[in-house]
Chain A
């Protein structure tokens, strides 16, 4: 019971440093309680005023005061049970609001928490912070081996006030200028010491890869979300019937929350459904898997091994000869070979064409290199598959890839490709080796999650030669679309599947290359054309279009939009594009031999409206090395 000698504190006392008992909003509310009318003096004050009868005591006994104030005793500053050294905390206020930091220790004098980013991960330095301003997560790092410098105490972090001397009369008070805070060398050294130790502790953690991203990301909540209800107290049940587990993953394809086991099961079932509903394989077939070591081909190989399709599977990898990229990804493929116990064949550009990509880029520069790589890779995969006696080639093209390709073909005006790019299996008409895409309806995010959940190792670095390809625009659009409406990716594929070409539109006629006998709609296939250009130092062969004025005068074509090579676009009159038969005018516009032809482009007629050069257009066909960030060797033209 407080006595007369008990020190008193104001009603609105501090419950934590900087945190008052009542907020200013609360203080501004009208006072509650019984009121009485009291007479007041002054002629302008209305004569009387309504006041609360019993306002309560003005001061409270100090025994109510929290001990967690400056000058308080650590013994009285209780740390929450959830906060232990190594706990990842979320900062809720201040300059570093939303950042995830690691708790190191509680400072003795003030009871504040000492935390660090580490600096390299999220730019948060060694700081003190009150536990009232943090949320403790369940993620803990083992920092038992971390020795903190002994000088890290409250005095170390106390702000040094600059001594202001009295200015003499007439002196300019702004002469000294604004005093900017400068980080001392001691602070830098201590930061480095602590962070090095913390990063070493992080690396020992099995989830290091994900912890880096986790600590580097910011926490936020949306409308309707509450920190105390974020999945801890209210777990979401797995959406699979008869499964009682809590959901830990949200499927990108349909947004269903599922547990890990159900996620794996449903993903494999989706792939199996795609394969079985389209009768993609026949038992006894010898099938080559285009393996780049990236996530898609790794997941494809893994998933195909999970079901017994009665197939003889072979891994086929292409070595483009890119140092620092392909040699690393091939190691991943070697691991796949051992893990999945599948034979592996590696073909190199050097063996097939006499040129490696490094040599090609050294010769042509960093422009148009995707044209060469994509064309060569497509043919290499076909040649490799034939050599191995395979009847089919499967690639890891996923739903995102196919949606991008549909969009690109639409934007380029390549209706021939648009018609066939959504086919689950291309080339079955006998023109070339059949290619299948079992992951056609699998979302890229789900593939990444599947690989993570099943601890599949894959290579994930972008090709060092990947330029700003046109496909990146389409990819960017697909990603934005996925954020707005995930279902849209499948809807684009459905749109692509539902289209056919009008009968009056001329389609290319396929033949064989006169040199290598590969499928081609021209005399020479694209690969032969490009090799010819490399060998004869004619670097524009196969990569640049050449205008033919003779044909322009003959055809008098009025192409839609783009300046057609057979006519100068003089009057801006556009071609009718439906029901008028002027498609023939476009079809008459022929290119020279240096056209987008060969197996990578079965267009006999030039897509005049598209501004990109041949090189870009071919690169667009062939989703080239690393443009998909997965080292996708198999990601090329359909």
Chain B
């Protein structure tokens, strides 16, 4: 081997002689060029070989004008705005298969402007292909897509029958009042969970929510499971059935039942239940309802949280509900133990001497009771409580408890305040509920208003409950000069109110927190 000829694959330190590539003449046009596997200059190669041969120049894409989505066969519809990366992806997927078949690879693509209403989309592709002994050529190639309009499945179904629902959530609670539903309504408004419902209807004992798809209904049910103790069961009904493709269309009914125990209910626990909860006194007060029930023993100030599943084991009902609250006047109060705080609520054990307002002045019936409201009550205050002395109950557990233990005659529940001014500084939004015209009874209207008023009053008392919902500033509120009525009446501080969104020509305020 002569020195300097064809240098060996040099390791480090070996002398590798310089090898400058010579020039050859292009075999077609004779221009001097660097040797390449085809030994033709780039222009002759491009003239000879067209790499875009066989690549489609026209293609079609389907568009739904209602929901501005594009069809990705066979069935999915994807939303894309004009000249967006999503649209580019959809278009490139349409021509991907022929490109792959021709062994042409895509090295770039960009949109070419076309009028929006021309129903044409233009792309300029850069294609790369290997030709003739391994040379890779790159060339641009325009592709035009024709846009065909077609309503997608959901839009056509919606257009054919706009009220068609696929799933319904039937929310029920078997109690005579509607406080729970008022509270749930505000929660749903705050979290926007009812926005997907096609419509909401009132039914005896609860509400019905109608949805266009089962997943939306399931979303509402999942939300309800986190805020209330519920029990669900699902049923489905066959609507139509395509034998050829084995597609079955159903209507789903989800029945959601809320536990009948509400706040401020008095419950007498059976011996079994009382034992299981660690000897909780037979009389308990329900103080908070989230996805578990909080039961407070007013005599020992112990709170027990009972989950829905555990509740179903016992299935006790309330012995006395808030409709049966009686007003008492506090004659004397003696604090027994220091104020404690459980779950954010404050309680204090105290002895109180109370008399029923109906008895007050007429006779001397006075009750001495232990109460958990020691921190709130002062002599001369009015309080609401359950009158066990004079009550006529139809409850087995209560009878059993009466024989076993000596029950208190009065259980005070909350402090009551003077009648307050009608107008409030704040207001609430309501869900658009269709009223059930068929089942309306006489006097129902008034009952509802009373319940609503009681609900608003409860809101004023309880800041924790207010935290969970949105309160809006009331534009019509005129501050009353004579605000000497009960300085200790709790009112909602202005920092918690939200400016309501007004879409007027003169104002145009955005909704924002006013703090």
Do these two chains interact? no
Interface, chain A (partner B; CB < 8 A): none
